[in-house]
Amino acid sequence: MQRRNILVVGAGPVGAVAALACARLGHRVVLLEAQERIDDSPRASTTQPPTLEILAGLGLIEEYLRVGLVSRTFQFWDRGTLTRIAEFDFERLRGETDFPFVVQTEQHKLANMAIGRLRGMADAQVVLGFRVVDLEEKSDHVVVSCDNGERFSADYVIGADGGRSTVRKLLGIEFEGYTWPERFLVITTKFDFAAALGCCFRNYMADPDEWTNLFKVAGDDLKGRWRAVYNTRKDETDEEALSEASVRARLSRIYVPESQRDYLHLNLYNVHQRVARHFRKGRVFLCGDAAHVNNPIGGLGLNSGIHEAWDLASLLDKVIKGEATEEILDTYEARRRPLNIEYVQEQTVANKKRLEEREPAQRAKRFQELREMADDPARHKAFLMKASLLESTRRAIRT
Ligand SMILES: Cc1cc2nc3c(=O)[nH]c(=O)nc-3n(C[C@H](O)[C@H](O)[C@H](O)COP(=O)(O)OP(=O)(O)OC[C@H]3O[C@@H](n4cnc5c(N)ncnc54)[C@H](O)[C@@H]3O)c2cc1C
């Protein structure tokens, strides 16, 4: 068994970025992925400024910008009346970051891009179709076994194998939190909401019964398409949510005329708010959805996973090169877990509440708060510093 410095489990966007970050620091890396190809279902696309800074550090930013859409603003809407409540502009972050905008690039593009780079590096190996089923920690390394009987050994292991993480389960780490009773339905359509309603590329539409988040992404053909994300009713079956009639009815509620209610894809997701009790056990670390999951309103989950991957790569680098002792590895959980709770869990729960507020007076108050915040330059910027995760990233550097 050839021994590597770092073995990464899961070639989703977080695992692929973690492996690339470690390989670029000069380490011998192997990335193991259970599937034969990277999952391209419509999940994350919104890439926040601090994540763009990391992608620049990895030498991926030009390619990333080429296959995505730059979005300077996001808007809140009242869905019932289809009127805009407030707009926030990332240009207010100029001076804080080299990237005062988000980029809408689908997550499978990032994973494939990072894998492409790894394949060109002599000390990096990407293995698809190998499912990790066991881990054995020895005194100075870890042995990882796959379902086909293959075994690998490494000084350290990064479990980036998603929300249902086998690595987390093998470590016996609890995934604390809860699952929302409703599911989120994603309808992908070519209907042009910018032309029809004046939407920007990221729109959050509040409604007490059924809210909608509306995003534009480039698509693999770069021709552009929209993703409309809805909550399902708590008593709605999968069959009903995915039925032609209910999908067309949902599109009608965001203006789409009868003749244009055809759609490209439908996806239904269970949604959770959970954080692993620990992000590390011995030589094994959790990163990305393996460590935490959240509702996608605000576009934060994947972003925080990439921040962790970058942070962890730098800590492991220092230890492997003998520039720091192993104690430094304790800072990973000590720093990242509270940051995820404060900036990702709390914000995404608040974002969901803002969209679904039922009580009319409270709803009017929330809309008014958004208008006032958008109109006040200092509060506008402070809101964006938090919503973009720039504030959490700056805090991470200090802790
Ligand atoms: C509708 C929706 C929209 C979203 N939008 C955003 C957004 O705009 N911005 C944002 O930041 N986040 C968003 N998210 C969240 C984002 O999709 C996740 O945070 C992201 O997928 C996490 O990436 P990951 O690499 O940690 O895990 P995953 O993408 O789940 O990848 C895990 C990988 O590990 C592999 N794997 C699993 N088990 C094993 C095993 N035993 N051995 C080997 N490999 C294994 C899997 O096959 C998979 O390839 C959204 C989520 C949803 C559902």
For 38-72, write each residue's pLDDT tens digit.
999 999 999 999 999 999 999 999 999 999 999 99
pLDDT of the residue at 397? 79
Q: Is the per-residue pLDDT at 170 higher than 80?
A: yes
pTM of the model: 0.97
| Residue 83 scores a pLDDT above 90 | yes
- Quick one: which atom of ligand 1 is closest to the CA of 35? 47
Nearest residue by C-alpha to atom 19 in ligand 1: 302
Regarding beta strands 29-33 and 202-206, do their DSSP bridges make them parallel or antiparallel, or are they unpaired?
unpaired
Is 62 exposed, middle or buried, given 0-12, 13-18 or 19+ CB atoms closer than 10 A?
exposed
Ligand 1 atom nearest to CA at 16: 25
CA gap 329, 59 in Å, rounded: 26
On the question of pLDDT at 3 being above 90, the answer is: no
pLDDT at 396: 84
pLDDT value, residue 247: 97
Specify the DSSP element, H or E, that contains 313.
helix 301-320
Q: Residues 197-233: pLDDT tens digits?
A: 999 999 999 999 999 999 999 999 999 999 999 999 9
Atom in ligand 1 nearest the alpha carbon of residue 287: 26
**pLDDT band of 1, cuts 50, 70, 90:** confident
Q: Per residue in 99-129, pLDDT tens?
A: 999 999 999 999 999 999 999 999 999 999 9
E strand or H helix that includes residue 56: helix 49-57
d(CA 316, CA 313): 5
Cα 296 to ligand 1 centre (Å) = 11
Q: Are 65 and 71 in contact (CB under 8 A)?
A: no
Q: How far is the CA of 163 from the centre of ligand 1 (A)?
A: 7
Closest CA to 218 of 116, 113, 70, 115: 70
**Minimal-distance CA residue to ligand 1 atom 35:** 10
Query: Distance between CA atoms of 338 and 344, rounded to whole angstroms?
Result: 10
Ligand 1, atom 48: nearest CA belongs to which residue?
12
- Cβ neighbors of 382 (< 8 A, separation 6 or more) are none
Give nearest CA residue, ligand 1 atom 29.
12
What tokens were used for 174? 């609890």
- Mean pLDDT within 346-359: 96
Q: What is the mean pLDDT of residues 11-21?
A: 98
User: Which residues form the pocket of ligand 1, taking CB atoms under 6 Å from any ligand atom?
Assistant: 9-15, 32-35, 39, 43-46, 107, 131-132, 160-162, 166, 184, 186, 229, 269, 288-289, 296, 299-303, 305
The per-residue pLDDT for range 264-311, each reduced to its tens digit, is 999 999 999 999 999 999 999 999 999 999 999 999 999 999 999 999
